Amino acid sequence: MARFAPCNSCVTEQMCFFISCFPGLICPETVPRTPGTYNRCELPASLFASPPMNCTCRRLQLSQRKRVALFCQFEGKTSFGMSVFNLGNAIMGSGILGLAYAMANTGIQSAPFVWLLLAARACAREPLRGLLMVLGFSVPGIRAYEQLGFRAFGIPGKMAAAVAITLQNIGAMSSYLYIVKYEFPLVIQAFLKVDKPSDEWYLNGNYLVIIVSVSVILPLALMKQLGYLGYTSGFSLSCMVFFLIAVIYKKFQVPCPFADFSYNGTAALNVSAAHSVEDEGPSPCNPRMVTLNSQTAYTIPILAFAFVCHPEVLPIYTELRNPSKRRMQHVSNISIAVMYIMYFLAALFGYLTFYGNVEAELLHTYSRIDPYDKLILCVRLAVLTAVTLTVPIVLFPVRRAIQQMLFPNKTFNWPRHICIAVVLLTLINLLVIFAPNILGIFGIIGATSAPCLIFIFPAIFYIRIVPKEDEPMRSVPKVLAACFAGLGFLFMIMSLSFIIIDWTTGSKNSGSGH
């Protein structure tokens, strides 16, 4: 099949349009043509002289609208399984370490935590479905979240999406490297049997996070396509499965009450119990029906942050082999369902192990029992590996967002590709080294950018892009989309209000933990 065949099969009253492979170089309008005519939409002549080798052109019969569309589509080479791994790795992150703490601050035998987790899963999946449906009605060739924003609202929509993605993913990467900063030295101390922290450089978290960023994250972040990271994503997820198995196993190994808690809490690894749940009460080994305290305000942001993967959907979709809305929906369904199960089991067994003594960082709680437990040390290494391999996945959408904001009409360029990655990692390392805590990152980012990316943007993009002829404004899909947008604003306002109240009351836990 010719890569750029003339549109000679259109009939009167039908419409023919051409779309290029490059972001930003798209036909401004679809125009009616008489049989045999062809219009190149005033694209650069060089594009037609040497079409991209990774693109193929095909005709798409849209029977519903009775038109023939000729467009250039990126030829994806990533398998279904690798796409599931990449999306699952984008979802899975350091958020799983704080879910037991979230359950401790809501209660296990009551429905709130289960309902919140179910709602987070459902609300994360439905906007994904809407986002993919938008692809069917939008201009073919759109390959980024920001381009959907541009299609819906022009430059303001594009900038809003790019800023939200940048803030959200920088917060995510900061939280991952924060774990590396504080966990890696503890693991090295435990392996070396160092009772008191020394001033050696290899026990300094700031040095270690820089070394990991340069030696592991940067080479992976320089990959040209996201699909190349499928194998590292699969390995990262396997590390988190090992973490989950260890959490379940430890539930039946750790006694309650914890006789050695106070001793080990001030021993070798110098781990503080400052973040345990407030007001444990007379029965420390019984699960709470309902728990409400100042830390409950962070439950919704933590859950919302834990399920954010929307910026990665379009890049994964465009690199999927034989892409289609149905095929990509299967990818998202499998990924979100598996992550939901892992999240719930980790939260359940983590909470049932320590009850009200669970900390914002679950692994720290285990170290208070036995800082030299070999299984926990292996789990720590697995979690460090997992979160480290997740950073390049999350960095890709940020780099794309920056390119969409600053270089919208530029083709791929290696120096720019490398420079953006280096600048981003440098900024994130500075943030991790000088940020006083991680709860501010989780709370503020989760309460602002996450609702936009999960609820608000997919809903309003769907309402704006889908033609009224196909979906009237009062149709069920658009009404549901409007409800999702309203729910997103409600979550944002509620979470920010709780966090501000928590800060103004001077709570010691307001700025720590997850």
Q: Are residues 398 and 489 in the same domain?
A: yes
**Same-domain status, 23 and 118:** no
- Shared domain for 58 and 176, answered yes or no, is no
Q: In angstroms, rounded to a whole number, what is the distance separating the alpha carbons of residues 366 and 370?
A: 7
Q: Residue 273: which residues within 8 A CB-CB, separation 6 or more?
A: 261, 265, 357, 359, 368
* Residue 144, pLDDT score: 77
CA distance 231 to 86: 9
**Does some domain include residue 2?**
no
291 belongs to a structural domain? yes
Q: Are 369 and 481 in a shared domain?
A: yes
- How many CB atoms are closer than 10 A to CB 272? 12
Q: How far is the C-alpha of 414 from the C-alpha of 410, rounded, in Å?
A: 12
| 406 and 391 inside one domain | yes
Q: Look at strands 67-74 and 55-62 and give their pairing.
A: antiparallel
Question: Which residues fall within 8 angstroms of residue 175, CB to CB, at 6 or more apart?
Answer: 93, 94, 95, 438, 441, 442
H or E segment to which residue 59 belongs: strand 55-62
Residue 470 pLDDT: 81
Residue 57: domain span = 15-74
C-alpha 163/C-alpha 167 separation (Å) is 6
Helix, strand, or coil here: 28? coil
Q: Please check whether residue 159 lies inside any domain of the structure.
A: yes
> Are 461 and 489 found together in one domain?
yes
pTM summary value: 0.74
Question: Is 226 domain-assigned?
Answer: yes
Residues 373 and 477 in one domain: yes
Which residue, 41, 31, 116, is CA-closest to 67? Answer: 31
Do 346 and 265 touch, CB atoms closer than 8 A?
no
90 lies in the same domain as 70: no
CA–CA distance, 486 with 140 (Å, rounded to integer): 29
Per-residue pLDDT of the chain (514 residues; tens, 9 = 90+): 333 333 333 322 233 333 333 333 333 333 333 333 333 333 333 333 333 333 333 333 333 333 333 334 445 688 899 999 999 888 887 678 888 888 887 777 554 566 566 666 666 777 766 776 666 555 556 777 888 888 899 999 999 999 988 888 888 888 888 888 888 988 888 888 877 767 788 888 899 999 999 999 999 999 988 888 889 999 999 999 999 999 999 999 888 766 655 444 434 344 333 444 544 454 567 777 667 666 666 666 666 667 778 788 888 888 888 888 788 888 988 998 898 889 889 988 998 888 888 887 788 888 788 888 889 899 999 999 998 999 999 899 899 889 888 888 788 889 999 999 999 999 999 888 887 565 566 667 767 887 888 889 988 998 998 888 888 888 888 898 899 899 889 888 877 887 777 778 765 444 333 3
Domain final residue, candidates 26, 51, 74: 74
pLDDT of residue 477: 84
Is there a domain that residue 210 lies in? Answer: yes
Question: Among the three residues 57, 74, 91, which one is the final residue of a domain in this structure?
Answer: 74
Give me the pLDDT at residue 98, please: 80
Same domain, 341 and 217: yes
Give the C-alpha separation, 349 to 80, whole Å.
31
The pLDDT tens digits for 195-245 are 776 778 888 889 999 999 999 999 999 998 888 888 999 999 999 999 999
Q: Same domain, yes or no, for 36 and 114?
A: no
Contacts of 262 (CB under 8 A, 6+ apart): none
Question: How far is it, in rounded angstroms, from Cα 263 to Cα 90?
Answer: 38
Tokens of 166: 């940048």
Residue 323 in any domain: the answer is: yes
Predicted confidence at residue 207, as pLDDT, reads 93
Residue 510 located in a structural domain: no
Q: What gap in Å lies between CA 513 and CA 440, rounded to an integer?
A: 9
pLDDT of res. 157: 92
pLDDT score for 491:
80
Q: Which residues contact 193 (CB under 8 A, 6 or more apart)?
A: 372
Same domain, 58 and 84: no
H-helix or E-strand containing 90? helix 80-91
Confidence at residue 139, expressed as pLDDT on a 0 to 100 scale:
55
Domain shared by 52 and 84, yes or no: no
Calpha distance 205→323 (Å, rounded): 42
In a domain, 514, yes or no: no
End position of a domain, from candidates 54, 74, 94? 74
70 — phi, psi (to 5°)? -110, 120
What's the total number of domains in the chain? 2
What CATH number is attached to the domain comprising 187? 1.20.1740.10
Burial of 199 (0-12, 13-18, 19+ CB in 10 A): exposed
